[in-house]
Amino acid sequence: MDYIDQPIAAQKRIALVAHDNRKSALIQWCNKHRAILEQHQLLGTGTTGSKIQAATGMPVEQLFSGPMGGDQQLGAKICQGEVDILIFFWDPFEPMPHDPDVKALLRIAAVWNIPVACNASSADMMIQSALMAQSFPRQIPDYQGYLAARKDELAV
């Protein structure tokens, strides 16, 4: 696979996701970093997004609930370049019926080279980075080049 440069803009599109046992921790984290988060666009899976919006008053674009397809919906947004950062407070002690969806979401985040934080410590490091306030380069898969190189194969 070839890669191309695609910068992440100064104003980030930040996805906020948390498993049930971690929602209150993510809400506390959002309140702690409110001044920074307000400078960016926020989106979240169903219940998490609505709880963050209710607790903080910050606007959060709400997707479906994770088990109802929200993780996959978020993955599609990552593929389409509509998410720059994923903050996902997942619960390592609780098995989730939609674990395959969670694994797929984390895989897509890695494929499209977006920063991911899975706990408060990594999220603190990420949000306090100087890169939060500026554009920075990243490499993503060259999907158009991939299609062009396989044009004959795909014509069947």
Is 142 labeled as catalytic in the residue annotation? no
Q: Is 121 annotated as a binding residue?
A: no
- For residue 82, what are the contacts with CB-CB under 8 A and spacing of at least 6? 13
Q: Is 12 annotated as a binding residue?
A: no
Q: Is 66 annotated as a binding residue?
A: yes
Q: Is 57 annotated as a binding residue?
A: no
Q: Is 98 annotated as a binding residue?
A: yes
- Would you tell me how many other CB atoms lie within 10 Å of the CB of residue 7? 11
Which two structure tokens, joined as six digits, stand for 45?
């899976």
Q: Is 56 annotated as a binding residue?
A: no
Determine the Cα–Cα distance for residues 82 and 11; give it in Å rounded to an integer.
Answer: 12
Terminal CA-CA length for the chain: 22
Active-site position among 71, 124, 142, 152:
71
Q: How far is CA 25 from CA 17, 118, 154, in A?
A: 11, 12, 46
Q: Which of 102, 129, 113 is nearest to 4 (CA)?
A: 113
Determine the Cα–Cα distance for residues 7 and 67; give it in Å rounded to an integer.
Answer: 31
User: Which residues are annotated binding-site positions for substrate?
Assistant: 19, 23, 45-48, 65-66, 98
Catalytic residue positions, numbered: 71
User: Which residues are annotated binding-site positions?
Assistant: 19, 23, 45-48, 65-66, 98
